[in-house]
Amino acid sequence: MANAKTAPGTTPEKSFTLTSNMTGESWDLPVLDSTAGPSVIDVRKLYDETDYFTYDPSFTSTGSCKSGLTFIDGDKGILMHRGYDIKELASKSSFLEVCYLLLNGELPKSAEMETFRKTITHHTMVHEQVHNFFRGFRRDAHPMAIMCGVVGALSAFYHDSLDIWDPRQREISAHRLIAKMPTLAAMAYKYSVGQPFVYPRNDLSYSENFLHMCFAVPAEDYKVNPICARAMDRIFILHADHEQNASTSTVRLAGSSQANPFACIAAGIACLWGPAHGGANQAVLEMLREIGTKDNIPDFIKRVKDKSDNTRLMGFGHRVYKNHDPRATVLRESCNEVLDALGVRNDPMLALAMELERIALEDEYFVSRKLFPNVDFYSGIILKAMGFPTSMFTVLFAVARTVGWISQWKEMIEEPQLRIGRPRQLYTGPAMRPYVPVDKRG
């Protein structure tokens, strides 16, 4: 394999030679370079030329697409969007500005930002008929069940933005989704607690408006705590996009069939719902409930270390980040700010979380395995402190990730070689056999 680097996306000069030890034949597979991270071996012609597929369940070694949105370096603990470090975005930017960046590729100039803000706020209300969808659900429905249904149903309301080949319609759908997700999420919450829906307030920022729709009631004035609004905005920024994770890949696969964007995002929400993906911050709170009091921490840690016990310290460790989770570093700061601002440092469950964090960060088992608190550990604590029930945690993740999903979808539709996604398989069922009539089956 030659060493010259090629610019991303240009004709490769490098190749990887594949040699069969069965026939002695060799094939040169092109190598494509990335801006950052590993190069990839282009296997698109592999089947045509060799009669073999690759086998990679769970896609741990497969680049499923080209993307210019987000990059993660798990060893260095780096996450960037469009080349900007997440830590810088979280401290200097706003969620709405990050939305613009992900959707359009560049940070907006002042006038562009103002237009974008007005456009998004213009779309925050949902069609009044959408309210009827909510009323069809039981009050104890999981809010993610409601979100799957209601977001998919948006395609029945906004026919004027469903032509995926029209760039303007794609843009309007993206704006509608970013604008309406907080409204729908807040409605799901209000419905579950039996309170009236609160309409959006376009004089508030994106995150202030969301908190207002969740926690205001018609009977009295509600003033959004600016520290909570800032923490909410940071949680949204930190969850906005994360490469080709399960839900993003789901959105892309659904979109590759040319399904409309609302249907694709509903598919992403369904995938996010699983505890192995968006449900981990809920699991942190459930673990804290299970531990109960500080006295039980040593026993719990013993169980976590015991190989014969499947207990894990939820909110610790990460599949990709192996040094630290840059999102957790940012949220730890917000977590302290929120606990102080709300005066809930003495809340027993939050105190328990802080004690668990202290012990785990010093314990040899966690230190040697590089198991540090991940983003879910702190987001769970912050959301609990703000008053969200655990069932809403994944919904808030979905609100934040919508911009990532729709930006990735848009990037895919704009790719000139868009083709339906169609993985192949390693068939392990029976070989062809004749049908036996029922009276002849032995």
Using CB under 6 A as the binding rule, whether residue 235 contacts ligand CMC is answered as no
User: Is 440:434 a contact under the CB 8 Å cutoff?
Assistant: no
Q: Which stretch binds ligand CMC (CB under 6 A): 50-58, 99-107, 125-133, 373-381?
A: 373-381
| ∠ Cα 82 421 102 (to 5°) | 15
Q: Which of 143, 182, 268, 315 binds ligand CMC (CB under 6 A)?
A: 315
Q: Which of 69, 264, 313, 395 binds ligand CMC (CB under 6 A)?
A: 313
- Of 102, 2, 30, 143, which is closest to residue 407 (Cα–Cα)? 102
Q: Are strands 70-73 and 78-81 parallel, antiparallel or unpaired?
A: antiparallel
- Would you say 187 or 235 has its CB closer to ligand CMC? 235
Q: Which stretch binds ligand CMC (CB under 6 A): 63-71, 150-158, 306-314, 425-433?
A: 306-314
Task: Please state the closest distance from residue 133 (CB atom) to ligand CMC, in A.
Answer: 29
Task: Please state the closest distance from residue 293 (CB atom) to ligand CMC, in A.
Answer: 20
Residue least distant from ligand CMC (Cβ): 317
Q: Which stretch binds ligand CMC (CB under 6 A): 156-164, 167-175, 309-317, 413-421?
A: 309-317
| 281 burial level (CB within 10 Å; 0-12, 13-18, 19+) | buried
- Would you say 76 or 131 has its CB closer to ligand CMC? 76
Q: Binding string to ligand CMC for residues 374 to 413, with x set by CB under 6 A, is what?
A: xxx-------------------------------------
Binders of ligand CMC in range 331-370 (CB under 6 A): 369
Task: Please state the closest distance from residue 247 (CB atom) to ligand CMC, in A.
Answer: 9
Task: Please state the closest distance from residue 309 (CB atom) to ligand CMC, in A.
Answer: 10
Task: Please state the closest distance from residue 356 (CB atom) to ligand CMC, in A.
Answer: 11
Task: Please state the closest distance from residue 218 (CB atom) to ligand CMC, in A.
Answer: 36
Using CB under 6 A as the binding rule, whether residue 81 contacts ligand CMC is answered as no
Distance CA 146, CA 134 (A): 7
Q: Which stretch binds ligand CMC (CB under 6 A): 69-77, 150-158, 316-324, 402-410?
A: 316-324
Q: Which stretch binds ligand CMC (CB under 6 A): 1-9, 162-170, 310-318, 339-347?
A: 310-318
Q: Binding string to ligand CMC for residues 265 to 304, with x set by CB under 6 A, is what?
A: ---------------x-----------------------x
- Would you say 25 or 286 has its CB closer to ligand CMC? 286
- Of 307, 308, 311, which is closest to residue 296 (Cα–Cα)? 311
Q: Give the catalytic positions in this structure.
A: 318, 376
| 280 burial level (CB within 10 Å; 0-12, 13-18, 19+) | buried
Task: Please state the closest distance from residue 175 (CB atom) to ligand CMC, in A.
Answer: 26
Distance CA 50, CA 44 (A): 11
Task: Please state the closest distance from residue 306 (CB atom) to ligand CMC, in A.
Answer: 10
- Would you say 79 or 224 has its CB closer to ligand CMC? 79
Using CB under 6 A as the binding rule, whether residue 14 contacts ligand CMC is answered as no
Q: Which stretch binds ligand CMC (CB under 6 A): 96-104, 200-208, 372-380, 429-437?
A: 372-380
Q: Which of 158, 206, 210, 316 binds ligand CMC (CB under 6 A)?
A: 316
Using CB under 6 A as the binding rule, whether residue 371 contacts ligand CMC is answered as yes
- From residue 132, alpha-carbon distances to 73, 185, 187, 210 in Å are 45, 15, 11, 21
Q: Which of 212, 318, 384, 410 binds ligand CMC (CB under 6 A)?
A: 318
- Would you say 170 or 327 has its CB closer to ligand CMC? 327
Distance CA 359, CA 341 (A): 25
Task: Please state the closest distance from residue 365 (CB atom) to ligand CMC, in A.
Answer: 7
Distance CA 271, CA 265 (A): 10
User: Is 102:410 a contact under the CB 8 Å cutoff?
Assistant: no
- Of 69, 131, 71, 124, which is closest to residue 100 (Cα–Cα)? 69
Using CB under 6 A as the binding rule, whether residue 317 contacts ligand CMC is answered as yes
Given strand 70-73, what is the order of strands in its sheet? 70-73, 78-81, 84-85
Residue ranges in contact with ligand CMC by CB under 6 A: 280, 304, 312-319, 369, 371, 374-376
